[in-house]
């Protein structure tokens, strides 16, 4: 089974990708991991990638697709794979289908922006012991104070509402054409990503059972 997983940042995509990979015994491929692997192995490609990233540029689609092309030929992909975090725009989606050919299904984990904002903007963490809280879903006993160590809690800079909104709007602009692209190919599964992790997982596997 060859799957692509797309979803808003904060939609729980990584969690579902891991579960799907285990359930179907298919490789979980994240392009971020692929780039890091090349850099760690210090391959010729890895050194090139490190140069690009260190100079603050983005790694080109050509490099990513050629790494993916090599990756899906490895042994652990014999039953298939799930691509997590790629493609992020239409050019990448088109390039990808030229290189790796047909995909069975594209799972889109769909979560309303307001829900994402609530999830992210409510996160607090303890700078001393690293314990994580959520002001609504997992609050500390005493407002803004760590249960474990008594330190005041802080919010990550990226988690404030305005930053999250900006990230989401950038994300939607780039990904709505992909969603239409896969919808037209008739391989898009639109999954409501609000609710219990296991329920969402069952929804995905049920829909895949019907369709693949
Ligand atoms: Zn603490």
CATH number for the domain that contains residue 9: 3.40.50.300
Mean pLDDT value across residues 145-156: 95
The total number of structural domains that make up the chain: 1
Q: Is the pLDDT of residue 12 over 90?
A: no
**Alpha-carbon gap, residue 61 to 65, rounded angstroms:** 6
Q: What is the pLDDT of residues 87-129, one digit of tens each?
A: 989 999 999 999 888 899 999 999 999 999 998 899 999 999 9
In a domain, 104, yes or no: yes
Taking the centre of ligand 1 as the mean of its atom positions, its distance from the CA of residue 153, in whole angstroms, is: 8
Taking the centre of ligand 1 as the mean of its atom positions, its distance from the CA of residue 137, in whole angstroms, is: 18
The full 3-state SS of the chain, as one line of letters, equals CEEEEEECCCCCHHHHHHHHHHHHCCEEEEHHHHHHHHHHHCCHHHHHHHHHHHCCCCCCHHHHHHHHHHHCCCHHHCCCEEEECCCCCHHHHHHHHHHHCCCCEEEEEECCHHHHHHHHHCEEEECCCCCEEECCCECCCCCCECCCCCCEEECCHHHCHHHHHHHHHHHHHHHHHHHHHHHHCCCEEEEECCCCHHHHHHHHHHHHHHHC
Taking the centre of ligand 1 as the mean of its atom positions, its distance from the CA of residue 125, in whole angstroms, is: 8
Taking the centre of ligand 1 as the mean of its atom positions, its distance from the CA of residue 152, in whole angstroms, is: 8
In a domain, 139, yes or no: no
pLDDT-derived band at 35, boundaries 50, 70, 90: very high
In a domain, 118, yes or no: no
- The pLDDT, as a whole number, for residue 199 is 95
In a domain, 164, yes or no: no
Taking the centre of ligand 1 as the mean of its atom positions, its distance from the CA of residue 197, in whole angstroms, is: 27
In a domain, 66, yes or no: yes
Positions marked catalytic: 13, 88, 123, 156, 167
Mean pLDDT value across residues 76-86: 94
Give the tokens for residue 135.
């002001």
In a domain, 69, yes or no: yes
In a domain, 92, yes or no: yes
Taking the centre of ligand 1 as the mean of its atom positions, its distance from the CA of residue 163, in whole angstroms, is: 25
In a domain, 103, yes or no: yes
Taking the centre of ligand 1 as the mean of its atom positions, its distance from the CA of residue 144, in whole angstroms, is: 11
pTM of the model: 0.82
Highest mean pLDDT among 20-29, 51-60, 115-124: 20-29
Range of the domain at 52: 2-111+170-211
pLDDT-derived band at 211, boundaries 50, 70, 90: low
pLDDT-derived band at 34, boundaries 50, 70, 90: very high
> Helices 197-211 and 13-24 meet at what angle, rounded to 10?
50
């Amino acid at each position: 089974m060859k799957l692509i997983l797309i979803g808003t940042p904060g939609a729980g995509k990584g969690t579902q990708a891991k579960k799907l990979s285990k359930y179907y015994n298919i490789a979980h491929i994240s392009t971020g991991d692929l780039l890091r692997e090349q850099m760690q192995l210090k391959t010729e490609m890895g050194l090139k990638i490190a140069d690009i990233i260190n100079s603050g540029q983005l790694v080109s689609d050509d490099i990513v697709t050629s790494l993916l092309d090599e990756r899906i030929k490895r042994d652990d992909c014999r039953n298939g794979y799930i691509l997590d975090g790629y493609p992020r725009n239409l050019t990448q989606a088109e390039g990808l289908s030229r290189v790796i050919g047909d995909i069975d299904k594209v799972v889109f984990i769909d979560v309303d922006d307001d829900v994402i904002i609530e999830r992210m903007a409510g996160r607090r963490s303890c700078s001393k012991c690293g314990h994580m809280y959520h002001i609504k879903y997992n609050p500390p006993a005493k407002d803004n104070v760590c249960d474990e160590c008594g330190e005041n809690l802080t919010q990550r800079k990226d988690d404030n509402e305005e930053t999250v909104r900006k990230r989401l709007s950038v994300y939607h602009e780039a990904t709505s054409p992909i969603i239409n692209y896969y919808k037209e190919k008739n391989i898009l599964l639109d999954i409501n990503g609000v609710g219990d992790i296991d329920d969402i997982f069952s929804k995905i596997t049920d829909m895949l059972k019907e369709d693949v």
